Amino acid sequence: MTTTKVQPPQLPKGTRDFYPEDMRIQNFIFDTWKRIALRFGYEEYEGPMFEHLELFTGKSGDEIVSQLYNFEDKGGRAIALRPEMTPTLARLVIQKGNAIKKPFKWFSIPRLFRYERAQKGRLREFFQLNLDVLGTESIYAEADLISATATMLLDFGLKSTDFVIGISSRKLLATYLQEIGTPSADLVYPVLDRRLKIGPEAFAEALAAIGLSTEQSQKIDALMSCKSIEEVKKLVSSPSSIEALHEIEDLFDILTSTGFGDCIGLDLSIVRGLAYYTGIVFEVFDKGKAMRAVAGGGRYDSLCEKLGGAKVPGVGFGMGDVVLADLLRDHDLLPTQKQTLDLFIASFSTDMKQIFKTANIFRQMGFNVSHPLSPIKLGKQMELANQQGATCVVYVDGENAKEGEFEFKDLSKGTMNVGSAQRISEYLKQ
């Protein structure tokens, strides 16, 4: 008989385990996301973690298949694990059609999958907060989304000097390209998107390669370099460009008068890769680490239409948990405290039955209660109570306690008291 050593199981590439200490951080992030989303009146929704492959290829083309997890199920259907939430959202909206009262604001925290090589801030499995406002073309939808974003980041403890929400407009870029007479915008956008990454020379070369003149290329560069609306005003002249600029101006007015002026900035170098954006686009940058992007979004007025539904204008945004956690860690804003436990039930004589019974009494009163699981010395019981983050220890057999009363100790103060369950309950609520 031969014994082969079993290989220990391995974590799949690009995925994470969430031990309790990691889960606390995850919950902290999710709780904040959810709390602020609800505060702004967004309602939560969910969809399946896998969809028909066509839902994603229909929107983004066949190349996307190499970047997602897909398989054929036992019924021969082409299935993909969702790499983003927006197509699912569009499907939900199209299915219900006119039954949904518009406009409406929804949010979700989907688990997403992308088949790509893991690196800093990018994994194969991650979570992403999605906020979407659908059914209105009003600029207040953008204002709502951006103020919710800023509120969240501030609520996490970041300062307005730590990040900036860069605001741009696909509409302005499109009308300006038209104004200066360039070839189709679809061809130009990918180059614009890479402007900062590739540098001025490569940028000019790339524009020349798709047929733009030196003059056109310089004009584009000038527009994208603008740091204020005033500067842009000097460059644009066509009525449609001016209209697009007015929209940005409105958005800045609303956000500034609401108190978010410190969190936002005009940044026309933001284009975003997605083809479906039609209006305002924005990205959140960490001002610390080489301006990495933390979140991004924009207006997509024709997405539902493109997927075969009625026209439902919308604006949405996504914020990933991986980069956000990195950012919060850099600023030392992640929680370090352990689980919070109200009570730990202990016994001098290690009377397990009494411990178990007493724990249940306090649980029925609504407290979070723990206790030893086997008879161990009092010193060990105290150590456990401390380790588990208990506020107080209740002793089931304290000799100073009368019938119906317990000795209890406040672990943070080190003080001993005696009282009934009711009295302990009041003590904890103080």
Give the residues lining the site for RNA (CB under 7 A): 5, 10-14, 56, 60, 64, 67-68, 83-84, 86, 114, 116-120, 122, 190, 193-194, 197, 272-274, 296, 318, 348, 376-380, 382-383, 385-387, 393, 395, 397-400, 407, 409, 411-412, 414, 416
Rounded to a whole number of angstroms, the minimum distance from the CB of residue 103 to RNA is 22
**253 or 397, CB closer to RNA?**
397
Comparison of 10 and 184: residue with beta carbon closer to RNA: 10
Distance separating alpha carbons of residues 90 and 299, to the nearest angstrom: 13
**Pairing state of beta strands 43-44 and 104-108?**
parallel
Token look-up 């939430």 returns: 85
Q: Which is nearer to RNA, 38 or 187 (CB)?
A: 187
Of residues 220 and 341, the one with the C-beta less far from RNA? 341
Of 201 and 399, which CB lies nearer to RNA in the complex structure?
Answer: 399
- Please, which residue, 242 or 293, has the CB nearer to RNA? 293
Q: Nearest approach, Cβ of 198 to RNA (angstroms)?
A: 7
SS3 state at 116? coil
Least separation in angstroms between CB 238 and RNA: 27
Q: State in angstroms the smallest separation of the CB of 246 from RNA.
A: 26
**What tokens were used for 307?**
């997927």
Minimum distance between the CB of residue 360 and RNA, rounded to whole angstroms? Answer: 22
Q: What are phi and psi of 76, to 5 degrees?
A: 80, 15
Single-letter code of the amino acid located at 209: A
What single-letter DSSP state applies at residue 119? B
Spell out the alpha helix ranges (H) of 158-302: 170-179, 185-193, 195-209, 214-225, 229-235, 239-258
Give burial (CB, 10 Å; 0-12/13-18/19+) of 257. exposed
Least spacing, CB of residue 192 vs RNA, in Å:
12
Provide the angle, in degrees to the nearest 10, between the axes of the packed helices 185-193 and 170-179.
120
CB of 230 to RNA, least distance (A): 29
Least CB distance from residue 253 to RNA, whole Å?
27
Provide the edge-to-edge strand list for the sheet that holds 341-346.
Answer: 369-370, 341-346, 390-395, 405-410, 415-420
Q: Which is nearer to RNA, 14 or 309 (CB)?
A: 14
How many other CB atoms are found less than 10 A from the CB of residue 254?
17
* CA dist 423 → 218, 338, 362, 393, 405 (Å): 76, 26, 12, 14, 9
- 211/203 Cα distance (integer angstroms): 13
Min dist CB 4 to RNA, Å, is 8
Report the residue number, 180 or 303, with the smaller CB distance to RNA: 303
The tokens of 223 are what?
Answer: 């527009």
**Rounded to the nearest whole angstrom, what is the least distance from the CB of residue 84 to RNA in the complex?**
4
Please tell me the number of Cα atoms within 13 Å of 225 on its side-chain side. Answer: 10
* Closer residue to RNA, CB minimum distance, 119 or 336: 119
Q: What SS3 class is residue 261?
A: helix
Are 254 and 263 within 8 A, CB to CB? no
Nearer to RNA among residue 93 and residue 180 (C-beta): 93
Measure the CA–CA gap between 312 and 301, rounded to whole angstroms: 6
